[in-house]
Structure 1
Amino acid sequence: MNTNSIPPVPQESLGMLLWLVRTEVVRAMEAELASKGLDLRFTQYLILKRLGLMGPMSATETARAVELDGGAMTRQLDQLERKGYLRRRPHEQDRRALRIELTTEGAALLQDMASCNERVLEAAQRSLSETERLQLHDYLSRVLQMLRDKT
């Protein structure tokens, strides 16, 4: 009997695998941002990206779009506003509410960061064929939809 053999590595659960993949994507994206000299965290990138895709939103809508609680969102918005990437504007119909929107600088930064995102995702999928990439996207989209559809 060979006592020097390496024990088999247990297969990760789906939940753990998804968490590990997300952790590595965040790490790689933050490294890409740092290599461009950008002082941004992944969460801040997501906020800017969501605002770029969805347009001006309330702080609550923005928090929901990136899965942050209100306190954490306020801190992130404060930092991004200080950096000049977004601004809070009065809501058109509700004087009590504010809308969060990208500044010209924020929109330009978002364009610059697109190449970082593309490099990270390309590296992550390098070993997959085009068909496998499409299948992976389809599978993950369906899993997400089922998790969100609680009825």
Structure 2
Amino acid sequence: MDTRSPAPATPQESLGVLLGLVRSEIVRAMEAELAALGVELRFTQFLILKRLARLGPMSASELARAVELDGGAMTRQLDQLEGKGYLRRCPHEQDRRALRIELTEQGAALWQQLTDCNDRVLEAAQRSLSETERRRLHDYLTRVLDALRAKD
């Protein structure tokens, strides 16, 4: 009986490992950009601001789904971002029991500053790809995501 552990997968052997490594490097690079600007945000908080800036006000549960956080983790992140003055919880216009999360003026101004950071990180991640390869990569990853989300 062979009791040796299997050798760890190399990125060439595992799509999951490769995708995980790419995500980790994007997170590392983005957090380095934020630190260089003197902005005290973690990557998840950056994503929350990005979603609100791009999609507009939404409920905490919608936002949690958009950035893939559970409710408790989202509440902690929202508390921190609200404490920094970047977002606010406002009463929902149609449902007085619900709250909508929206960027403050300070949050919107910060997002404008962070847009360049986001662009630099994503450009650096793709710098060795031609425009055609970039489009193909986006297409491939979109198709992989759609396949994983398919219910059938």
> Same fold, TM exceeding 0.5?
yes
Local SS of the residue matching 2:78: helix
Per-residue deviation, residues 4-40 of structure 1 (Å, max 9, x unmatched): xxxxx94240001000000000000000000000000
Which ranges in structure 2 are unaligned for 5 or more consecutive residues? 1-8
Name the amino acid aligned to 1:27. R
Tell me which residue corresponds to 2:95. 94
Tell me which residue corresponds to 1:13. 14
Aligned residue runs from structure 1 range 1-151, under 5 A:
10=10, 11-151=12-152
CA distance, structure 2, for counterparts of residue 121 and residue 81 of structure 1: 27
Name the amino acid aligned to 1:31. A
TM-score by length of 1: 0.92
Indicate the percent of aligned positions where both proteins have the same amino acid: 77
Local SS of the residue matching 2:114: helix
The verdict on how the C-alpha distance between 1:12 and 1:30 changes in structure 2, with shifts beyond 3 A counting, is farther
Local SS of the residue matching 2:40: coil
TM-score by length of 2: 0.91
Per-residue deviation, residues 83-139 of structure 1 (Å, max 9, x unmatched): 000000011111111100000111111111011011111111111111101100110
Tell me which residue corresponds to 2:4. none
- The number of residue pairs the alignment matches comes to 143
Tell me which residue corresponds to 1:3. none
CA distance, structure 2, for counterparts of residue 53 and residue 122 of structure 1: 19
Name the amino acid aligned to 2:113. D
